[in-house]
A and B are shown apart, each in its own frame.
Chain A
Amino acid sequence: MNTRPFLGWFVSPAGLVAVGLIAAMLAVFQYSVRAYIPGTLEVGGFTWANFEAMLRPLYALAFWNTVLICFETAVFTLLLAYPLAYALTRTNSTALRSFILIVSVTPLFLGEVVRTYSWMIVLGNNGFLNTLLLKLGLVDRPLRMMFTSGGVIAALVHVTMPIMVIMLAAALSHIDRNYEKAAESLGAGPIRIFMTITLPLSMPGIVAGFSTAFAWTFSAFATPQLIGGGRVATVSTLIYQLGFSSFNFPFAASLSIIGLALSLAVIALLKKAASPLERMAGTT
């Protein structure tokens, strides 16, 4: 007797989508090993030249920049999202919980481009932050925040924050509060309780949120492109600049393949590095 009669019905759409995605990836790979022919969309014969070009310092720097920006974004997002997620799951006030939820999740309802343009207004020479700093007399001329890695990271943290808050809140809400009560009854203070019980037990959420934020940022395009103003090279902006705006699809495809391989490698490394932390939380 079939115990899961609807499994096929539910799985088949996902299966078809997966086949489509695999076919698309194969097409991208096929493009990456073909020669670029100027003045046409047609591609030439087999070549490794596109991958060999990646060895130039500019591209190596772009890959390194991307990893660094993703890492820093994930760290800052985690530091800002954790207190929010903690307050969201621990407050007894419904009004405060609703407020935190709205503040944390609202950015998801705005497109990445809209959010990025808002940040351009905040970070610009005549923007909100510089105007404030000048009026307070803290600086005597505008600070350069646009077209810098710092500006890109600030905007990416905002873009990534809702995902991190949701993942951390899910992990925190699953912690059995009796452990904390037991520690408290044995005389542990709030900081010790947090450091020895809450933080370790929320580690699966931290690892999942960090990895997701990293991967999410790796594929970000509009934010590094607009805030970076062409001055902050990442894998996605290079794919756009060299592939789509110059019709060199083989080169763009090879950048995509290397970018994909790099992001998978980094996430695998993160997972490996995080496994002792997850074991600490008793999940493995």
Chain B
Amino acid sequence: MKRALKFTALMLLSTLAIGGQASAQEKLVVSTWGGSFRDLIDEAIAKKFTADTGVKVEYITGGTIDRLNQAKLAAAKPESDVTFTTAHVGWLYANDNLFEKLDMAKIPNASHLVEQAKISPYHIGSWAYVYTIGYLPDQLPKGVSFESWEGLWNPALKGMISSPDFDPSHVMVVAAKLSGGDASNWEVGEAKMKALKPNYKAFYTNDANSQQLFATGETPVQVVLSMNAYYMQAQGVPIKLAIPKEGAVLGVDTMGITKGSTKAELAYKFINTALDPEVQAKIAELKKGSPVVDNAKVKPEIAALPGVFTTADQWAKQTLVIDAKLRAEKTGTWRKWFTENIMAP
């Protein structure tokens, strides 16, 4: 029995060792979401990075929280060199000592970063987007308009709307703003949020779920990720996006260097490449993500899209900003309140 146990343990260890050797080859490993986001990074950033440095890029893909947990478990020996994540989740990486403090002198292109993309000393923006009201015009009841977020509360939309179940911060901060508050005193918007409950039909779990709810007409009005809406438009779903007068809720996807990376210099070059004005313009073209530098030359037809910001005026007037650090701290509270008061039957 003892011999059998030893043998099995040896087999397990050797399997792990082989895995470890394979990952030690020369390359830059990027942790990112899968699907179209991985393809975007590969096409827009990695291609140029490899052409400039000769270093190949490999990917670890997964959901936001899965990768965060994975990074925490592998903290002593990180599996990736550069990590992409959303701005507020990036604060969780930073707070848990999973990101290196950035030496901005090694990222010359960051001198053009817009203020909204300077998230922390540990992570900076790679592209931006908005969560705003998306709708199918032919299924919109008469008299409903979205010049203001108030339009979402229109009783004519009873049982017609959805928003993400994984992050209610967008609607909750909007409700707070419409009630005279903001993210820091979100409680002032509780009654306003409760007034929105009858209009909800469902809550979507991910972008694919949101697409499906639009495509089948189940929820013709959604609080939706702009990049996802543009993807659906390209697939033939006639979605329109509104930018309400209060601004659309800004989201910034960010990059950081994983703590303990042995390829920090290459990681800096990769991040610098991501902020190259041409690369930023390509990101806008491929996925309709807003550039986060002020010197990207974006095609006029793309610059005109809601959620793509190319001027200081647009950044100032069309965005509703939730401080990423506050959002990281409040997400749990907001999520629980939303589940207990809005999603509960």
Residues on A facing B (Cβ under 8 Å): 7-9, 11-13, 15-16, 36, 38-42, 56, 58, 61, 117, 120-121, 124-127, 146-147, 225-226, 229-231, 233, 238, 241-242, 244-248, 251
Contact = CB atoms under 8 A, between A and B. Distances in A.
Contact of A36 (B9, B166, B202, B332): B332
A58 B332 CA distance: 17
Given A39-B91, A241-B339, A229 B217 contact: no
A187 B198 CA distance: 63
B212 A120 contact: yes
Contacts of B96: 40-42
Contacts of B59: none
A16 B218 contact: no
Interface stretch (B16-24, B232-240, B323-331): B323-331
Contact of B92 (A9, A40, A124): A40
Contacts of B218: 124-125, 146
Nearest to B331: A246
18 contacts: A11-B4, A12-B5, A12-B7, A38-B332, A40-B96, A41-B68, A41-B72, A125-B216, A147-B201, A226-B205, A230-B203, A231-B343, A245-B65, A245-B167, A245-B335, A246-B332, A246-B334, A248-B335
B8 interface: yes
A225 B164 CA distance: 12
B1 A225 contact: no
Residue among A12, A56, A117, A126 having the largest count of chain B Cβ atoms under 10 Å:
A12
Contacts of A229: 162, 201-204, 213
Given A9-B4, A244-B65, A233 B336 contact: no
Interface string B304-333: 000000000000000000000100111111
B336 A39 contact: no
B36 interface: no
Contact of A8 (B1, B205, B329): B1
B344 interface: yes
B165 interface: yes
Given A39-B328, A58-B344, A231-B345, A245 B165 contact: yes
Contacts of A230: 165, 202-205, 343
B209 interface: yes
B184 interface: no
B262 interface: no
B204 A58 contact: no
A58 B340 contact: yes
A158 B56 CA distance: 45
B12 interface: yes
Nearest to B63: A244
B324 to A, nearest CB: 11
B3 interface: yes
A124 B209 CA distance: 13
A226 B9 contact: no
Nearest to A120: B212
A233 to B, nearest CB: 7
Given A41-B68, A245-B167, A120 B216 contact: yes
Contacts of B202: 146-147, 229-231
Contacts of A7: 1
B329 A39 contact: yes
A247 B332 contact: yes
Contacts of A41: 68-69, 72, 92, 95-96
Contacts of B217: 124-126
A56 B165 contact: no
Interface in B150-184: 162, 165-167
Contacts of A244: 65
B199 to A, nearest CB: 13
B65 A247 contact: yes
A127 B92 contact: no
A143 to B, nearest CB: 13
A121 B205 contact: no
